[in-house]
Amino acid sequence: MRLHVADHPLVAHKLTVLRDENTASPTFRLLVDELVTLLAYEATREVRVEPHAIVTPVTATVGIKLADPRPIVVPILRAGLGMLDGMTRLLPTAEVGFLGMKRDEETLEAITYANRLPDDLSGRQCFLLDPMLATGGTLVAAINYLFERGARDVTAVCLLAAPEGLKLLEDAMGDRLDLKVVVAAVDERLNEKSYIVPGLGDAGDRLYGVV
């Protein structure tokens, strides 16, 4: 597993406003969108391309274009949905699949309640979106699911990660070089309810309200 932590003052600035409990949903959604667009630049560094011949007004030349099959972007509902537009802004031709997953707040077990993905992901580059990597249970289950269906490689894009969740990921699939995790920041720890500290609270609730 390869980990990339964003090191950029704009990311740090936007994260600070995002964390603030006084930041209301409309601004929170806008900031998530902006942060993902900044992270997407790094996350797509190894997107597959192929040569593409064109003619400029001056001469014939060979550039590159995204290779087929196109990447597939997979937001983990709910909170990952807030990251979808920011990601597809950079990858407008990507396909989009959906995984609905919910952490049981008592057992901390990840429960999958929705799945709209191709059964066969052979040869596909997958970009998994979820703002919060807390215990890591949700992300490990989602990544395993994509690899079991044949994904060629998986890049997980998260806003905040806890060291405990990164350790679970490392223990579960540390030797996989076809897994990359891109995060805006690694926070201090989890609290007694397994929320990220300092964190930003419940990302889904802050995006969409308490349900």
Ligand X SMILES: O=c1cc[nH]c(=O)[nH]1
Q: What is the binding site for ligand PRP (CB under 6 A)?
A: 76, 78-79, 101-103, 108, 110, 130-139, 165, 194, 202-204
Tokens of 120: 């066969």
Contacts of residue 51, Cβ cutoff 8 Å, sequence gap at least 6: 62, 63, 64
State the minimum distance, in angstroms, from the CB of residue 103 to ligand X.
6
Q: Is the dihedral of CA 154, 72, 113, 156 positive or negative?
A: positive
Residue ranges that bind Mg ion, judged by CB under 5 A:
202, 204
Q: Which does 168 bind (CB under 5 to 8 A by kind): ligand X, ligand PRP, Mg ion, none?
A: none
Q: Is 150 annotated as a binding residue?
A: no
Tokens of 164: 């405990």
Cis? peptide before 71, omega within 30° of 0? no
State the minimum distance, in angstroms, from the CB of residue 132 to ligand X.
4
Q: Is 176 annotated as a binding residue?
A: no
State the minimum distance, in angstroms, from the CB of residue 178 to Mg ion.
28
Taking phi first (over 0 means left), then psi (-120 to 50 degrees means alpha), and beta for anything else, what does residue 194 get? Answer: left
Is the Cβ of residue 102 or residue 176 nearer to Mg ion in the bound state?
102
Residue nearest to ligand PRP (CB): 204
Q: Is 111 annotated as a binding residue?
A: no
